[in-house]
A and B are shown apart, each in its own frame.
Chain A
Amino acid sequence: MMSWLPENISTYGGQIDHLFYLIYYLTSVTFILVAGCMIAFLVMYRHSDGRRATYTHGNTTLEIIWTIVPALILIMLGFMSKARWEEIKSPAHMPPPDLYVRVTAKQFNWEIRYPGPDGKFDTDDDLQVDNDLHVPLNKVVRVILRSKDVIHSFFVPQMRLKQDAVPGRDIQVWFQATKAGQYEIPCAELCGFGHSGMKGALFVQTKDDYDQWVKEQWPAPAAAPAAAAAQAPVAEARG
């Protein structure tokens, strides 16, 4: 079953997968125990004429045990999840970015906007393309998500990244890719008749390849947009 999870190429994806496996094992064991007991009871206590069922209204000790044990397991899962969640989603815990990119969703494309060598969005050296997102390998990328019309959802399965893009809001997400390659960026939230097929491409490039791509986009001066990070072109914004 585990082989069906897409390959993880994100620094925090392993932590999500770890939690997933943990819940998978816990729920599998629980299901096997419950189903096993049920099947055993159905076989052991199937109807036979002349036998009488056990007359009991319950057992308080048992009921306390099977209330407390799941509660403790769920509390443990809650604590483990909280730490990971904050690291991934909370702007206060996000690592400082090497690159800012603005992704604006619209029916039915992703508009990708790079701030250019000046590190600021909405200036002359910005680069805007539809659907193709180029990022350097092993660098922290901060994506500012917007939407022009309806709610879309920015999803990169291999990155374990998903975040809705909501009109009227700037929502920040981050990732750090650990493997070069090309990956699809589907929209995960129903956004109209063209929802299926609204997909972009994420190009995770090695340093040399990425530098080459930057050079092609901004021939002179050859300052990488990655340098823009230090200038923090946007305020931390989350609606």
Chain B
Amino acid sequence: MSETAAVGAHAHGAHAEHHELGFIRTYVFSTDHKMIGRQFLFMGLFMMILGGLLALLVRWQLAWPESEVPFTQWIPEPHMYAGHMDAAAYNSFFTMHATIMIFFVVMPILVGAFGNFLIPLMIGTRDMAFPLLNMLSFWIALFSGFIMLAGFCIPGETHAASGWTAYSPLAAVPAFTGVNAGQNLWCISLIVLGISSLMGSINYITTIINMRAPGMGFFRLPLTIWALFIVAILLLLALPVLTGALAMLLFDRMAGTSFFQPAGGGEPLLWQHLFWFFGHPEVYILILPAMGIASDILSVFSRKPIFGYRAMAFSMIGIAFLSWIVWGHHMFQSGMNPALGTTFMISTMVIAVPSAIKTFNWLGTLWGGNIIFSVPMLNALAFVSMFVIGGLSGIYMASTPVDIFIHDTYFIVAHIHYVVFGGSVFGIFAAVYFWFPKMFGRMMNETLGKIHFWPTFLAFNGTFFPMHILGIGGHMRRIYNPLQYDFLKPMQPINVFITVSALCLGVAQIPFVINFFWSLFAGKKATINPWNANTLEWDAPSPPPHGNFGEIPTVYRGPYEYSSPLVPEDFLPQSRKLAPEVSARASH
């Protein structure tokens, strides 16, 4: 391993010395993993604004059905009708909200941005194994984003409107949704995105296996890298399944095949099996990087080693393995053989165990710490507490009889948002605040960060916790107008409360946007290691130059040696060599 790293380092170093890169090669068509990471970050943050605004449109409709939505007069038909939306547009909005948030926000930021930026830096190498492939993965992802956004511009029809799950035959026959080109573009965009993800995951896996710095054994990897490594394997195996299913769906829509239509001998449940065989690992693709990031940040700001490092790594491996055999819990009410329901219930119950291990180990990390409430730490703590709620609510749907009632209700919406917003998005915020100094060489403002965090945390809970209550009341998801149902009318004040909270949640992001761009240009200059952290990226300058390290670091220990008795400081970087007699003391 070390030889490979040395060869790679030499080759890359020579490459950097001999070629001064121009503007285009530095900032646009860059093969530098750090620039590609930043590009993914900007793409993801832009899409987050778009996806968030779509959510607000949906929420407005649910609170005040069919009333005029403020500031939307300019949106043309058939998306809006003079500030009003109809049911078809509503279906399109929530479909695109979910699609954008999952595929163009959380994945590009957690996996694309932080995966690209952090993997070479944290394992101690100069770049990804295949830099050109890496650049292509970003541009293909961006191209995919353009295709997806183009769906909003089809004259006379809305964007895709079959839900992000695209159940067939609804999604397979244009007449069933009234959407033709928009749904086709949705399929094509996700197929293209699958190609990008494949390139990225091959790169991640190859880099982590082959290019670790000398001394960087697998059990000295930071948990962020463990998470990204596992996610890359999941992506490599899961995305092609979706890509294949999407190709079949496109054939059904455009070429007259009947993979998913019983009229032609097809099977509607085949789509669900294929979709959720991808879709459930996808949930872990969205949450595992945030788990790794939160683990690292909790350790840094507790000034304590992570509690049970190996258990944390093995529980992520366990979650990844089990994620392949739980897809059927999305299909308990689908008409699938009930005997299979029991099987999937058991596997789903089992997957809760490694999640519980992780939670208790995070608590163990906090125990006895010297906890600093920095903004990254606040977001990491929010991640843990919100993930606990998201994880616990998962048990309700794992229990097959209880799932009969809560399936397809707002309870599910609450659950997925506690996992993907409370988990992944707080993970994103934690990561942005934590690694911003390394990415851009400047610190983000702590006060603005706290002004962003607290209202976000409160408004998040105000938005998504009451959805549990709606779900328990039987409130179906994906309905255009709750007031059409007598049994839902008493719950309408909750819908209004949720929407007001959601609007507050949207407003609460303004300090983040201001902080991000202000700090980018005028933030306090960051030192090499502003958080006194141990991992290798903090050995490189802020921001790291092309090639990252002057000399490839050697790794002497694991990443979580905080408050070690061996040194007077409360941190001990992985690359710091101790005097032989001190090291000898450590081994006794």
A residues adjacent to B (C-beta < 8 A): 1, 4-6, 15-16, 19-20, 23, 26-27, 30-31, 34-35, 37-38, 41-42, 45-48, 51-59, 62-63, 66-67, 70-71, 74-75, 77-78, 80-82, 84-86, 88-91, 107, 149-151, 153, 155, 157-158, 160-169, 171, 183-184, 186-197, 199, 238-239
Q: How far is the CB of A103 from the nearest CB of chain B, in Å?
A: 14
Which of B363, B560, B562: most chain A CB closer than 10 A? Answer: B363
Contact A239 B399 (CB under 8 A): no
CB-nearest residue of chain B to A55? B563
Contact B372 A47 (CB under 8 A): yes
Partner of A151, one of B268, B385, B481, B565: B268
Given contacts A35-B388, A195-B480, A16 and B402 within 8 Å (CB-CB): yes
Contacts of B339 in A (CB 8 A): 90
A-B contact sample (20 more), CB < 8 A, given A23-B402, A53-B370, A89-B341: A38-B366, A45-B367, A58-B308, A59-B307, A59-B364, A63-B311, A70-B353, A74-B353, A81-B400, A86-B342, A150-B176, A151-B167, A151-B268, A155-B408, A162-B405, A167-B261, A191-B170, A193-B91, A195-B91, A238-B337
A to B contact number (C-beta, < 8 Å): 288
Q: Is B162 interfacial (CB 8 A cutoff)? A: yes
Partner of B353, one of A20, A67, A91: A67
Which of B163, B360, B398, B476: most chain A CB closer than 10 A? Answer: B476
0/1 string, B105-116, CB within 8 A of A gives 1 = 000000000000
10 cross-chain pairs, A with B, having the tightest CB-CB distances, nearest first: A168-B262, A54-B368, A157-B474, A196-B480, A58-B308, A196-B479, A85-B400, A193-B88, A84-B401, A27-B392
Residues of chain B in range 334-385 having any CB-CB distance to chain A below 8 Å: 334-335, 337-339, 341-342, 345-346, 349-350, 352-353, 356-357, 359-361, 363-364, 366-373, 381, 384-385
CB-nearest residue of chain A to B315? A67
Contact B363 A37 (CB under 8 A): yes
Contacts of A31 in B (CB 8 A): 388-389, 392
Q: How far is the CB of B161 from the nearest CB of chain A, in Å?
A: 7
Q: Helix, strand, loop or mixed for chain A's interface?
A: mixed
Contact A167 B262 (CB under 8 A): yes
Q: How far is the CB of B64 from the nearest CB of chain A, in Å?
A: 15
Partner of A55, one of B170, B304, B385, B409: B304
| Complex alpha-carbon distance, A196 and B404, angstroms | 20
| Complex alpha-carbon distance, A77 and B394, angstroms | 13
Contact B409 A188 (CB under 8 A): yes
Contacts of B177 in A (CB 8 A): 192-193
Given contacts A34-B363, A52-B563, A190-B91, A66 and B357 within 8 Å (CB-CB): yes
Contact B169 A45 (CB under 8 A): no
| Complex alpha-carbon distance, A11 and B404, angstroms | 15
Contact B481 A196 (CB under 8 A): yes
Q: How far is the CB of A92 from the nearest CB of chain B, in Å?
A: 9
Contact A153 B333 (CB under 8 A): yes
Contact A190 B167 (CB under 8 A): yes
| Complex alpha-carbon distance, A53 and B268, angstroms | 56
Contact B405 A163 (CB under 8 A): no
Contact A192 B170 (CB under 8 A): yes
CB-nearest residue of chain B to A156? B474
Q: How far is the CB of B490 from the nearest CB of chain A, in Å?
A: 9
Contact B370 A47 (CB under 8 A): yes
Contact B311 A4 (CB under 8 A): no
CB-nearest residue of chain A to B560? A57
| Complex alpha-carbon distance, A89 and B364, angstroms | 42
| Complex alpha-carbon distance, A171 and B372, angstroms | 57
Contacts of B563 in A (CB 8 A): 52-55
Q: Is B77 interfacial (CB 8 A cutoff)? A: no
Contacts of A187 in B (CB 8 A): 476
| Complex alpha-carbon distance, A107 and B111, angstroms | 40
B residues adjacent to A (C-beta < 8 A): 86-88, 90-91, 161-163, 167, 169-170, 173, 176-178, 261-263, 267-269, 302-309, 311, 333-335, 337-339, 341-342, 345-346, 349-350, 352-353, 356-357, 359-361, 363-364, 366-373, 381, 384-385, 388-389, 392-393, 395-396, 398-402, 404-405, 407-409, 469, 472-474, 476, 478-481, 484-487, 491, 560, 562-565, 570
Q: How far is the CB of A17 from the nearest CB of chain B, in Å?
A: 8
Partner of A41, one of B367, B395, B399, B401: B367
Partner of B304, one of A1, A53, A71, A238: A53
Contacts of A194 in B (CB 8 A): 87
Q: How far is the CB of A36 from the nearest CB of chain B, in Å?
A: 10
Contact A45 B370 (CB under 8 A): yes
Contacts of B371 in A (CB 8 A): 41-42, 45-47
Contact A190 B338 (CB under 8 A): no
Q: How far is the CB of A196 from the nearest CB of chain B, in Å?
A: 4
| Complex alpha-carbon distance, A183 and B485, angstroms | 10
CB-nearest residue of chain A to B167? A151
Q: How far is the CB of B253 from the nearest CB of chain A, in Å?
A: 14
Contact B404 A88 (CB under 8 A): yes
Contact B169 A74 (CB under 8 A): no
Q: How far is the CB of B65 from the nearest CB of chain A, in Å?
A: 9
| Complex alpha-carbon distance, A190 and B176, angstroms | 11
Given contacts A41-B367, A42-B366, A52-B563, A162 and B308 within 8 Å (CB-CB): no
CB-nearest residue of chain A to B303? A53
Contact B333 A197 (CB under 8 A): no
Q: How far is the CB of A4 from the nearest CB of chain B, in Å?
A: 5
Which of B267, B352, B366: most chain A CB closer than 10 A? Answer: B366
Q: How far is the CB of B544 from the nearest CB of chain A, in Å?
A: 29
Partner of B178, one of A52, A151, A193, A196: A193
Given contacts A6-B487, A42-B371, A77-B399, A150 and B169 within 8 Å (CB-CB): yes
Contacts of B372 in A (CB 8 A): 47
